[in-house]
């Protein structure tokens, strides 16, 4: 038994509870938050891969205690309790999410002199939830932790003092009251058909034709869970509200929120592939909604004057590339999708925090009122520019490598039109970003532009610098993660 596996969930939960109580004690809260922010990535690195059975529900032990008449039946094989699975695949995403959370918390401390215990509580509770979601092999347990994540996202928006933040939070709650129950209802159909909530058990039963793979219960469950997955991920028709959520958060909050969305998308997307890959038109549906997400999001980003909304739409559109790789369905495309998801967490965090310094300086996100900010801090301006290049897929950054793999997988699978769409969207992202960068940093500064602060916090420079270095390392040495993803995908399909 590897006790470090549950600690990756328990530690941020305990931290969330403590900082919520002692939030007014700034020094103690800062120290505890930073220590936990460092601890999660470190534990993810040093933990040994393994399986954690909670409550002693090891199926091999349970099977030995069953009556002889049940030996060799499905009852002796089912996992009767919650199971966490930790491998190098989960290690990568928990490490990266922990790193982003640490940097986001660090930059938050520079923005606010008076620390909000409830705000930090929401960040750490959300971090614990997405970590548990990635580790869990139980689809109902995944749903429970997703709902915790969704509520944490709403809370982070409410805790942000921006215009219309309450309205956006309420809209997201209302939409969640539809998407979440549909996801749960789909899980109920799976339970009624299979008799288990453990994803490994469900996949085994379906793959070995122990139930009809196209039974009504499974088909209805697939449709409902797929719709719930669109809500979880922010894919159409939920792309508008998801981008609004990002744009109303603090820069550090937006970085966290996008990371949460990517982790939720991955966990449920992998569960969908494991359970429903046999469904007719499964891949075609994923490809269709991926293309819609990519095209709609980048088109709406190109029309934005608010740079926070622009980055938010681009971040949602980047998830379309992840869905595209899942939809193509080959080993290379799935590897590319996982690599793209990794890059999306890093690059979006970089841009949200980097562009967030513009709002920190000027208290405006309207590009028509901005200009000449490269003179304030050219280092930050260059790092933001390079981050935009990474998102657009410019070499030698990580975004280029993952999108190149996606394009190659589309050609190899016989879908050159998908490759061309991906290339076109990436080019559009490049020009959209360059236009915004020129407006904010390079064009003459408006005479009436006033500054709320004269300098950019060093912590923000550090955070963006760390993220940029990681992006460059993964661009130059992609095999650090792609070898792990390729092995994982080999066992998935």
Spatial neighbors of 486 by CB under 8 A, at least 6 apart, are: 331, 335
Q: What is the pTM of this model?
A: 0.92
77-103 residue pLDDT tens: 666 678 899 999 999 999 999 999 999
Rounded mean pLDDT, 258-280: 92
Bigger pLDDT: 100 or 234?
100
Judging by DSSP bridges, how do beta strands 83-86 and 50-53 pair with one another? antiparallel
pLDDT tens-digit map of 107-124: 988 876 667 778 899 999
Q: Where are the domains of the chain?
A: 281-493
Q: Flag whether pLDDT at 281 surpasses 50.
A: yes
pLDDT score for 70: 47
The more confident residue out of 280 and 68 is 280
- Residue 67: pLDDT over 70: no
Q: Average per-residue pLDDT in the chain?
A: 88
**Buried b vs exposed e over 355-366: b needs ≥16 C-beta within 10 Å?**
bbbbbbbbebbe
Overall average pLDDT of the 234-263 stretch: 89
**The pLDDT of residue 66 is above 50:** no
Summarize pLDDT for 340-351 with one digit per residue, the tens.
999 999 999 999
pLDDT confidence of residue 58:
64
Per-residue pLDDT tens over the stretch 145-185: 999 999 999 999 988 877 778 888 888 888 888 888 999 99
**pLDDT score of 77:** 60
Q: What is the pLDDT of residue 78?
A: 67
Q: Determine what percent of the chain is predicted with pLDDT higher than 90.
A: 57
Total residues found in the chain within this entry: 493
- State how far the Cα of 43 lies from the Cα of 399, in Å rounded to an integer: 27
Question: What mean pLDDT is predicted for residues 297-322?
Answer: 90
Given a contact cutoff of 8 angstroms between Cβ atoms, the answer to whether 333 and 432 are in contact is no
């Amino acid at each position: 038994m590897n006790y470090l596996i549950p600690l990756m969930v328990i530690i941020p939960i305990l931290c969330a509870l403590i900082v919520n109580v002692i939030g007014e004690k700034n020094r103690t809260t800062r120290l505890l938050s930073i220590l936990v922010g460092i601890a999660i990535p470190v534990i993810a690195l040093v933990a040994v891969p393994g399986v954690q059975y909670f409550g002693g529900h090891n199926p091999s032990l349970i099977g030995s205690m069953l009556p002889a008449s049940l030996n060799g039946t499905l009852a002796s094989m089912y996992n009767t309790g919650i199971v966490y699975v930790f491998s190098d695949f989960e290690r990568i995403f928990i490490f990266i999410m922990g790193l982003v959370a640490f940097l986001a918390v660090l930059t938050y401390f520079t923005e606010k002199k008076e620390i909000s215990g409830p705000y930090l509580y929401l960040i750490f509770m959300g971090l614990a939830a997405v970590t548990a979601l990635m580790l869990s092999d139980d689809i109902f347990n995944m749903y429970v932790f997703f709902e915790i994540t969704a509520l944490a996202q709403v809370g982070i928006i409410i805790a942000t003092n921006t215009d219309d933040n309450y309205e956006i939070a309420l809209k997201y709650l209302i939409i969640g009251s539809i998407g979440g129950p549909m996801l749960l209802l789909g899980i109920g159909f799976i339970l009624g058909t299979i008799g288990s909530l453990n994803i490994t058990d469900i996949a085994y039963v379906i793959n070995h034709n122990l139930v009809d793979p196209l039974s009504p219960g499974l088909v209805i469950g697939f449709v409902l869970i797929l719709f719930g997955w669109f809500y979880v991920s922010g894919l159409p028709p939920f792309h508008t509200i998801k981008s609004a959520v990002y744009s109303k958060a603090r820069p550090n909050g937006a970085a966290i929120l996008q990371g949460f969305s990517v982790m939720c998308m991955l966990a449920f997307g992998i569960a969908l592939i494991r359970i429903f890959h046999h469904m007719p038109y499964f891949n075609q549906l994923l490809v269709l909604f991926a293309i819609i997400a990519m095209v709609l999001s980048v088109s709406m980003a190109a029309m934005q004057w608010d740079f926070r909304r622009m980055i938010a739409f681009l971040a949602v559109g980047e998830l379309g590339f992840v869905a595209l790789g899942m939809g193509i369905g080959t080993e290379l495309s799935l590897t590319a999708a996982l690599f793209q998801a990794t890059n999306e967490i890093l690059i979006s965090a970089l841009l949200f925090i980097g562009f967030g310094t513009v709002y920190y300086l000027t208290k405006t996100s309207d590009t028509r009122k901005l200009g000449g900010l490269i003179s304030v801090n050219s280092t930050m301006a260059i790092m933001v520019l390079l981050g935009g290049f990474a998102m657009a897929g410019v070499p030698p950054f990580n975004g280029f490598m993952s999108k190149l793999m996606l394009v190659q997988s589309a050609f190899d699978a016989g879908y050159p039109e998908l490759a061309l769409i991906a290339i076109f969207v990436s080019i559009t992202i490049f020009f959209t970003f360059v236009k915004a960068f020129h407006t904010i940093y390079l064009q003459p500064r408006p005479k009436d532009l006033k500054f709320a602060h004269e300098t950019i916090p060093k912590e923000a420079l550090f955070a963006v610098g760390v993220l940029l270095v990681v992006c460059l390392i993964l661009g130059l040495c992609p095999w650090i993660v792609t070898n792990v993803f390729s092995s994982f995908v080999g066992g998935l399909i």
